Copies of this chain bind each other. A is one copy, B any other.
Amino acid sequence: MKLNIAGAGAIGLLLGAGFADAGFDVRMLTRSPEQAALLRQEGITVERSGEKKVFQVEATAAPGEWSNAELTILAMKSYDLAGFLETAGGRLASSPLLFVQNGVAHLTMAESLPNPSSAFASVEHGAMKTGQTAVRHTGTGPLRIAPGKGDGAILRELALADTASFPVRLEEDAFRLLFSKALKNAIINPVTAIFGVRNGEIAESAELGRLAGMLHAELSGAFPDVADGVSLESVFDLCRRTAGNESSMLADIKSGRRTESDAILGGLIEEAARRGCRLPLLSGIAEMTAFLERRESDG
């Protein structure tokens, strides 16, 4: 099966290697011709617990060569999605798409595309890009995939890639899959980012715990259909299990990188508004993270 993987960041490289390992015919779509050339020459190197393994892939930065894949996995960050689809200029319009973005903002975008089928994934791997063609695999968690538009037959084929170090799980409900993760992210990410604390502090501090509880209550009110599976206790559990970790938003802000706030917080606020619900606390918090993001990237 021929797979396009668009976006050769940490997650794109990890997925490319995982599916190549499972025998899929992987073609990486990159932004720069240089990275494509390097990937063709060197393949993708995955470092896992100090051991390195190389996986051969095709790669191209030329949109003219992007068509004729059975599935295109969109593995760029949410904020790069619109730019990528514009560059593709309709060449992927007949391809089934698998969206791998964090947050929920891309659900609406996916609906408006002409593609015959689309599916959504959440990635629970930890991965860090260490070079143009190299990724360090820091944590193994399932790639969960769920159908959006279309019958999802192709997802059953993808799920055959499932191994211990690259687990793939089929899920039924894309909305629930993405919103469950976004709800947790919408609590943990901004609270840790605003105060520069690690995840564990939310479970340890009485004040941040109450703040998390208020956010959880607000989100549960807007998304009761999702929140029944994401209890406040499960959020605290996640904070305890990842106590020493920096959330992605905190890490992004500290490094002066763009955060995924629009995709996660903005996406939830918009979807709530579509349901006639306001999220006043989350909306204020989104302005706070936007302020921090701009301040750090300015200076």
Nearest chain B residue, comparing its CB with the CB of A211: B287
Residues of B within 8 A of A211 (CB): 284, 287-288, 291
Residues of B within 8 A of A195 (CB): 288, 291-292
| Assembly stoichiometry (copies) | 2
**DSSP majority for the A interface?**
helix
The one of B205, B218, B291 in contact with A207, judged by C-beta atoms closer than 8 angstroms, is B291
Is there a chain B Cβ closer than 8 Å to A210's Cβ?
yes
Q: Which of A179-211 contact B (CB under 8 A)?
A: 194-195, 205, 207-208, 210-211
Is there a chain B Cβ closer than 8 Å to A285's Cβ?
yes
How many A residues touch B, CB cutoff 8 Å?
A: 21
B283 touches A214 (CB 8 A): yes
For residue A219, give the distance in angstroms from its CB to the closest CB of chain B: 12
For residue A60, give the distance in angstroms from its CB to the closest CB of chain B: 39
> Can you give 16 A-B contacts (C-beta < 8 A)?
A194-B288, A195-B291, A195-B292, A205-B291, A205-B294, A207-B290, A207-B291, A210-B287, A211-B284, A211-B288, A211-B291, A215-B284, A218-B280, A280-B280, A281-B283, A281-B284
